[in-house]
Structure 1
């Protein structure tokens, strides 16, 4: 049994790093057209690298589709899965489109990972097509749990929501981190200290929330004294409608995911 990656980009590398940390017991190979990427992946992880997939895979193999959605049809042209389990991490491409590109196979699990997978702190949403067995789900789960947590979805429609929340979510956090760093600099801190303060504040708040049984709103109240400094800051955020802006952003991401699914081949 071999776990093949079609595409050797950043997310593929993040998953491979997780597999290595978890001492994944099966062979891993990457099919990647770019020679520089092949050399880098082999040097970093010791995985077998290929310019293209073998002419035919086997039924006990796993194929991870890790190319960009707009390049998927071309990348899959001529691929013979041989009945292998297919895991797709391509945003917006539904099972129907993937099946069409791969000669009609329905043994497919769609996955929406996120970039913190690179440091084993990712979260992935997974949806199994009707052709995927319980054992296939277990195998997909084992791959993605090597780099974080997994959430199984009941319907393919939920892939749009998981894309909007956790798939795109790290970018929202980085946006807020950057905003807090910039605010710290306007208050007189050096860029280095502003970055350290922002990171430590986010990290500490997340750790506290993870270890507490209280809702986020309760934790917020515990930091806020009426008429105090935090109260003034939160009042400013409410005036600027920041919470609703985050909600609108997530809905915009979900809408774009649906558009991508509608334009898929």
Structure 2
């Protein structure tokens, strides 16, 4: 879903996937608003986008953990918007489970960044999307949210909660002609997986970004990326709890 009369709000714009998404969207003709914490990084990305694509690229600071600032953030986005507003949300944090076991504050922050932050912002943006009666919302979830596992159940539970919220938001915005797509990646080649021994290859951020843009506004509810994660998670989902709890992964 692209065109000169629309703007993509890219939240979490300093992540490799979001940075790649912003470049893909701008190359397809959309304006972009980059939102995140590291303003210097985003200014550099915005400059790169303008040089490469000629698109308009704005920068606005955003912190998922500061919901009191979210209303002002939305107002700033609307000032920079041109045409239909679309949203790509890629904010997330994934501490090691053992670290969260030792320090519950890390677990609380994981829930705040991965669930409460998105809910706060998307709840504020929902009336805007309903009023314009068009647009797309694409949010990065995770296959980790499909089943609670010993090795990452706090992170997984935050993504599971986000998935359920997006189901409800999808039903709400459907009646306004706005599509909501949840994208559930497996392993992605970012700082979250660097140095990890992975059972399956990590996908390049650029390919994930392109898949997100391809599915935006197309009526797709949930996307697993790469595709093979859907049958994998389907199989894991039917394992009885009395058996699954014995697994050490």
TM-score range, shorter chain: 0.3 to 0.5
Higher relative contact order (CA 8 A, sep 6+): 2
- What is the TM-score of this pair, normalised by structure 2? 0.43
